[in-house]
Structure 1
Amino acid sequence: MEDQHRTEPRVTYCYRHPDRETGISCVRCERPICPECMVPASVGFQCPECVKSGSGTGHSPSASAPRTIAGGVIAGDRRLITKILLGVNAAVFVAVLVVGSRLVDDLLLFGQAVTEPYGPVEGVAQGQWYRLLTSMFLHQEIWHIAMNMLGLWFLGPPLEAALGRLRYSALYFLSGLGGSALTFLVSAPGQASLGASGAIFGLFGATAVLMRRMNYDMRPILILLGINLVFTFTWQGISWQAHIGGLAVGALIAYAMVHAPRKHRRLVQYGSCALMALLIVAACVVRTLQLTP
């Protein structure tokens, strides 16, 4: 009689991320690794530690350097850029508390505004394009910076680890500038806007794209994104333009970064970032021509 006893398949977890199930092992050390830790090899995948130590193959250091899913170099501190962004936002917030409204007026995103009765007109339309960037780091209320920085700390490190520092930085800044540009393009000229929300929504979009690419369960991020979108369109005083602009830019750039064919990876990634930057500039030029004689 045939033995009816059946052995259940053993569940393995990534040795670097013990909470993640995986069915892939490093071809050199045979330890289980998750998609984030997979470094493509000539046959199969290697873990980052084996790639770092396996320099005896005669390859150049750049060829053997561990790479992220987007082709970036795996860094020792995968939260460095996120920490820097948190620090800059916190520093500007403290500066606003010390200096007061004068600093806020200098950094706010204005399309075009009269600073005082019959006084000079200033804003992005008058050439102060720096406001598109400075407004991304400007907060006045403690709840505002707390919510944005919580989102940055929650979404930033996984994306920084998956994309690499340079690509992650490009994603963050272009998402924020995309939100600022859409706000400038469609809002009333005198409507002020500030905060890192555009960049944070860019991280939301990028996270959804990355999770889809790695076949992760997308329900948590989609639910969280849906809740934030509800607040965007129902809470008075929120700039939906910044949120939607950042979300769209972040998702599009992330898609180009993680789906670019390996043979033309840098061309596709750098090209998509350059194209997005050109679109942002074009939107600002069009709005400036509308608002100035």
Structure 2
Amino acid sequence: METAVQTCYRHPDQPAGVICQRCDRPICPRCMHQASVGFHCPECTKQGKQKVYQGIGSLRVRPILTQVLIAINVAVFLVGVAVDGSGAIGGDSGRMQIDFGLIAKAFDRGQFIGVGEGEWYRLVTAGFLHYGLIHLLLNMYALWILGNAVENLGGRLRFGVIYGVSLLAGAFGALVLSPGSLTAGASGAIFGLMGAIFLAQRAQGIGFRDSPLLWVLLLNLAFTFGIPGISIGGHLGGLVGGAAAGWILFDYGQRPGVDKRLPLAACGAFAVLCVVGSVLFANGWMP
């Protein structure tokens, strides 16, 4: 006597590995979405999207890493005020931006400076500098909202990885599109958090058009392209980097059979590529 093989309700040619924990539909690996207990089918995932995303910014655990990042940004800004005076509050470019901001190459006080001169630390330090109090407040408000969401969604480790990858990808994008500009700000990493949330939602069966962040992203992109002086490369690079890290951690990394160490290694490799690419562009080795 033969036993009939149960097939996926969406893909009749695929054998079903498990059943949906909500509706008991048989689902294949392509349709499996990780839930708090077992797996859900795409329909149940979409219907239950509010359990994760309706309260973006609402807290279930204390977002310690988000708070630490905000504290570092504020502390760096206060150091800038102490070094450069009141001009730092109004948005003037001071010693902090010149010494730690992102730029490929420049000449300052009798010597060449920049990433192309071996100052690779600028790829990171620039992400904690801001041009004035308003710039800082806007970015910290966005970091508080989006950081809460990502840290609650994926935990501190994933949030830290996404933030780091986004920051480095934003630096790479800024050096590609505006290597001679002195760039600073956390907005590249913040755009990356938005990209990660979009890909996490997609992994849960929530389309881009259904995302509550869609209009927020579109509005920020309009500002990016419409207001002079904003780093287009930094914002787009961060967005792409965060989306890539979000897909790796929240989609690919949650698939059955994937080694849990592999997504972190992949994000690390992506970050290294961003650093290498930044150095190459800063030295003019790539067109």
Normalised by the length of structure 2, the TM-score is 0.72
| Matching residue of 2:232 | 240
* Equivalence for 2:197: 207
1:9-35 CA-partner distances (Å, limit 9, x unpaired): xxxxxxxxxxxxxx96xxxxxxxxxx9
Query: What 5-or-longer segments of structure 1 have no aligned partner?
Result: 1-22, 25-34, 43-67, 69-74
Alignment of 1:1-293 (within 5 A): 39-40=36-37, 77-100=61-84, 101-116=94-109, 119-188=110-179, 190-216=180-206, 218-259=210-251, 260=253, 261-290=255-284
Task: Quote how far apart the aligned CAs of 1:286 are.
Answer: 1.9
SS at match of 1:114: strand
- The 2-side partners of 1:291 and 1:95 are apart by 35
Q: Deviations over 1:229-281 (max 9, x none)?
A: 00000100000000000000100110111112242142431232122123212
- Per the alignment, residue 71 of structure 1 pairs with none
CA deviations 1:101-141 (Å, max 9, x no partner) are 2233211111101114xx21110000000001000000131
8 Å Cα contact 1:133-1:176 kept in structure 2: yes
- Report if aligned partners of 2:167, 2:188 keep a CA contact under 8 Å in 1: yes
On the 8 A contact 2:187/2:235 being kept in 1, the answer is: yes
Structure 1 CA distance for aligned equivalents of residues 105 and 72 of structure 2? 26
What secondary structure sits across from 1:109 in the alignment? coil
The answer as to whether partners of 2:176 and 2:233 remain within 8 angstroms in 1 is: no
Q: Distance in 1 between matches of 2:164 and 2:100?
A: 16
1:60-116 alpha-carbon deviations (Å, 9 max, x no partner): xxxxxxxx9xxxxxx984411101011001111111111112233211111101114
Once residues 140 and 233 of structure 1 are traced to their aligned partners in structure 2, the CA distance between those partners, rounded to angstroms, is 18
- Say which SS state the counterpart of residue 185 (structure 1) adopts: helix
Aligned mates of 2:106, 2:269 — CA distance in 1: 30
Q: Distance in 1 between matches of 2:130 and 2:275?
A: 24
Residue equivalent to 2:42: none
Q: CA deviation at 1:216?
A: 4.8
For 1:123 and 1:77, locate their aligned partners in 2 and report how far apart those are by CA, in whole Å.
40
For the 8 Å contact 2:177–2:232, the answer to whether it is kept is: no
Q: How many residues align?
A: 227
* Contact map agreement 2:189 2:238 (CA 8 A) in 1: yes
Letter aligned with residue 225 of structure 1:
L
Measured after TM superposition, the shift of residue 291 of structure 1 is 6.7
Q: Which is greater in Rg?
A: 1
Cα distance in structure 2, aligned partners of 1:124 and 1:289: 8
Distance 1:291 1:216 in 2: 41
Question: Contact conserved, 1:96 with 1:140, CA < 8 A, in 2?
Answer: no
| More deviation, 151-160/283-292 | 283-292
Unmatched tracts of structure 2, length 5 or more: 1-20, 23-32, 40-51, 53-58, 85-93
TM-score, normalised to structure 1, is: 0.71
Report the more deviating stretch, 281-290 or 138-147.
Answer: 281-290
Cα pair 1:257 1:268 within 8 Å, conserved: no
Distance in 2 of aligned mates of 1:231 and 1:240: 10
Q: Which amino acid aligns with 2:68?
A: I
Rounded to whole Å, the distance in 2 between the matches of 1:245 and 1:39 is 32
Structure 1 moving runs of 4+ over 4 Å: none
Q: Which amino acid aligns with 2:228?
A: Q
Alpha carbons 2:147, 2:193 under 8 Å: kept: yes
| Cα shift at 1:39 | 2.9
1:291–1:255 Cα change, 3 Å: closer
